[in-house]
């Protein structure tokens, strides 16, 4: 029977996953409290597939992480990535950038996440040795009853980092301005917060050749 290993650096998310696992009661799934920095501890040629969902843009040393993933994949193994597109910030982030710009504050370089664009993602994958790379960009709208609910979701999804670098003295003012702007994105379905995500699929060479010197 194939085995599935899930890793996440958040104890809360691991606990949620384990609770769901208890309901399903599978015997071939385990979860570990780890980050991308821990991938290197796994042996070579271990996994058939590695799937990273909303993870890649949080990794600082992306090249090292991809090198470790390539090493742990079996020859012919697949890497699947769903990640944010740097060239298309999601709606609430776009609004935050504009609000901070008007306030004379630039948030660039202060964020914990570091999304890439399609050229950078393709280059990183090829540099790590992957082949048969397919990357598609998909528009993913999400809808919320109110601007406050939208902002609450965004902050929770960003581990508190969405407004974490905004000076505390103006944070509430910035939050209020964001909610005013979010009202402009009202649709019959609710407040529309659009994410643009890359879906990438790449394969490890069958001859286990890593990369050119």
Q: Go through the domains of the chain in sequence order and give each one's CATH number.
A: 1-34 (no CATH), 35-203 (3.40.50.150)
For the chain, percent of residues with pLDDT exceeding 90: 62
Query: Does 212 have pLDDT greater than 70?
Result: no
Element at 178 (helix H, strand E):
helix 171-182
65 contacts: CB under 8 Å, gap ≥ 6: 36, 37, 39, 59
Residue of 110 and 22 predicted with greater confidence = 22
pLDDT at 87 over 80: yes
pLDDT of residue 174: 93
**Mean pLDDT of all residues in the chain?**
89
Classify the C-alpha dihedral 157-58-141-180 as positive or negative: positive
Q: For 118-133, what is the mean pLDDT?
A: 97
Average pLDDT over residues 112-139: 94
How far is residue 67 CA from its own chain's centroid? 18
Taking 3-state DSSP, the helix, strand and coil percentages for the chain, each rounded to the nearest 5, stand at: 40, 30, 35
Which residue has better confidence, 83 or 114? 83
Closest CA to 84 of 17, 6, 162, 150: 162
Residue 109 binned pLDDT confidence (cut-offs 50, 70, 90) = very low
Q: Flag whether pLDDT at 111 surpasses 60.
A: no
Tell whether the model's pLDDT for residue 213 goes beyond 50: no
């Amino acid at each position: 029977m194939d085995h599935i290993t899930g890793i996440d650096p958040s104890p809360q998310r691991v606990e949620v996953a384990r609770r769901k696992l208890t309901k399903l009661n599978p015997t071939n799934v385990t979860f570990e409290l780890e980050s991308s920095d821990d991938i290197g501890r796994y042996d070579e040629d271990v996994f058939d597939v590695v799937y990273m969902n909303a993870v890649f843009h949080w990794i600082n040393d992306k090249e090292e992480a991809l090198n470790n993933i390539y090493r742990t994949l079996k020859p012919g193994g697949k890497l699947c990535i769903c990640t944010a597109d740097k060239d298309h910030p999601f709606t609430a982030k776009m609004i935050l950038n504009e609000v901070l710009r008007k306030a004379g504050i630039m948030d660039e370089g202060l964020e914990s996440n570091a999304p890439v664009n399609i050229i950078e993602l393709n280059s990183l994958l090829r540099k790590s040795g992957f082949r048969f790379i397919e990357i598609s960009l998909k528009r993913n709208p999400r809808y919320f009853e109110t601007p406050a609910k939208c902002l609450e979701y965004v902050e929770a999804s960003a581990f508190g980092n969405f407004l974490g670098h905004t000076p505390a003295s103006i944070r509430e003012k910035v939050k209020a301005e964001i909610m005013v702007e979010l009202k402009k994105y009202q649709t019959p379905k609710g407040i529309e917060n659009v994410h643009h995500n890359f879906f990438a699929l790449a394969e490890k060479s069958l001859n286990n050749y890593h990369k050119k010197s």
